[in-house]
Amino acid sequence: MQLTVKDLTKRYKTGDGVSNINLEVEKGELVTLLGPSGCGKTTVLRSIGGFLEPDSGDILIEGRSVIKLPPEKRPTSMVFQSYNLWSHMSVYDNLAFGLKIRKRSKDQIREAVTDVLKLVRLPGFEKKYPAELSGGQQQRVALARSLLLNPAVLLLDEPFSALDAKLRHEMREELREIQMKTGLTMVFVTHDQEEALSLSDRIVVMNNGNIEQIAQPQEIYDEPETLYVASFIGKMNFLKGVADGGHIQIRRGINFPNHKQLTGNVIAAFRPEDIELREMADSEGLLTGKIKQIMILGHYAEVTIELDDLGILRSFQTKEIAQDLSIGKDVGVHVTKVTGYPVNETYIGG
C-alpha cells in the first residue's frame, strides 16, 4: 500500500475535526476526499502532509510510519488552493528551487524543468514571472513544482477552485493525463461532486468529520451506502415509507421492494433516471400525479411530477418521451430502482 491512514483522529480545541479516519491508497491511484465545507477534508490532508499533528492514529507511506516526521522530511508534496508561487522569482527559479536544495546539478535541473513545463503544457514559460500568468497557468506552475519533487504521494487541496468553470474542466483532464503519464499517487480534496466523479479512481465521501463511504465513482452514484451519500451525490427523489417484510409501503396499495430487509420508518430514494411514466389506465399500484414542468435539456428532458399529496418528483426522460407529454397531464409513476434507508440516519435534504 502506498498510503495508509490508520484510525486518524484530530480534534481542535473547539471540538471540530475528524475521527477514526481509515483509508488505504494504492500506488498510482487518485483518491478524492469529497464533502461539504467544514467536513474535515483539509484536516485529513494536512495530517498526511505533516502540517498538523493528529491526536491519535498513524500515517504510513510505502509501509513506513511518517507520523513523527516534519513536512519537509515526508515523501509528500502539497498543492494548495492559492498557488503560493514566489512573485519575485521567474517560473524557472520557482521550479528550480526545490531541486537546488536537493543538490541537483545545473544540467539536471534545466532538463527537469523543461520536461515538467511540457508536461503541464507551459513549454517555454521559464522566464515569465507569476504576475504575468493567468490563474490557471499559475496553478500549473504550482503543480509542476510539486511534480518535480517526485513525491510518493501528491496531496492536492482544492487546487482548481479559484479557476473558472471552463478552465477547471481543462485542468481536471490535464491532471488525469499527468497522473497516467507519471503513475503518481494522489490524494485530491474537493467539495465539487462533479470534479470528484470525473477525476477519481475512488472517492471518499466525508460528512461531519467521518467517512460515509469509500468506493469507485460509479458505485458511489449507483449504490450510495447511506442516506447522506444518497442526498449529497447527484439528484435523488425521497419519499417516506414504512418497511415490513419484502415491502416498503409508501401509502396503502403502493409498495416498493425492500431489498435491505429494513423495518419501521424508512426513506425510499430513487434517481430521476429511474422513473418511467405510464398512462393513467396503466397506473394500478403506482404513484400517480400531474406533470408540473417539462424542461428540455438537449438530449433529455427534466420532467417534474406533482404527486397526489406526496410532493414533487423529478424525473429524466428522453426527448422522444417528453415530446408526447404536456403540462397538467395525469400520469402513473413507475420506479425501476429504489433503495431504502432507515430514517434515523443523518439526512441533509436533497
What does the binding site for ligand ATP look like in residue numbers (CB under 6 A)? 12, 14, 16-17, 35, 37-43, 191
Judged by CB under 5 A, the stretch of 39-47, 194-202, 228-236, 255-263 that binds Mg ion is 39-47
Q: How far is CA 247 from CA 30, 254, 259, 264, 277, in A?
A: 39, 9, 8, 11, 21
Closer CB to ligand ATP, 37 or 218, in the complex = 37
Q: How many residues bind Mg ion (CB under 5 A)?
A: 1
CB of 157 to ligand ATP, least distance (A): 7
Closest Cα to residue 12, out of 60, 47, 48, 37? 47
Closer CB to ligand ATP, 13 or 299, in the complex = 13
- Name 121's Cβ contacts closer than 8 Å, sequence gap at least 6: 140, 174
Write out the three cell numbers for 3: 498510503
Closer CB to Mg ion, 32 or 42, in the complex = 42
Contact of residue 139 among ligand ATP, Mg ion, none (CB under 5-8 Å per partner type): none
Contact of residue 140 among Mg ion, ligand ATP, none (CB under 5-8 Å per partner type): none
Closest Cα to residue 327, out of 297, 290, 300? 290
Contact of residue 258 among ligand ATP, Mg ion, none (CB under 5-8 Å per partner type): none
CB of 275 to ligand ATP, least distance (A): 32
CB of 180 to ligand ATP, least distance (A): 27
CB of 198 to ligand ATP, least distance (A): 18
Contact of residue 168 among Mg ion, ligand ATP, none (CB under 5-8 Å per partner type): none
CB of 173 to Mg ion, least distance (A): 23
Residues 339, 350: Cα–Cα separation, whole Å: 15
DSSP codes, 20-60? EEEEEE-TT-EEEEE-STTSSHHHHHHHHHTSS--SEEEEE
CB of 168 to ligand ATP, least distance (A): 15
Residue 250's Cα: distance from chain center in Å? 32
Q: Which residue is nearest to Mg ion (CB)?
A: 42
How many other C-beta atoms are found inside a 10 Å radius of the C-beta of residue 245? Answer: 10
Residues 168, 186: Cα–Cα separation, whole Å: 18
Residues 283, 95: Cα–Cα separation, whole Å: 66
CB of 6 to ligand ATP, least distance (A): 18
How many other C-beta atoms are found inside a 10 Å radius of the C-beta of residue 152? Answer: 18
Of 42, 94, 179, 193, the one binding Mg ion by CB under 5 A = 42
Closer CB to ligand ATP, 74 or 191, in the complex = 191
Q: Is 317 among the residues that bind Mg ion (CB under 5 A)?
A: no
Binding residues for Mg ion, rule: CB under 5 A, are: 42
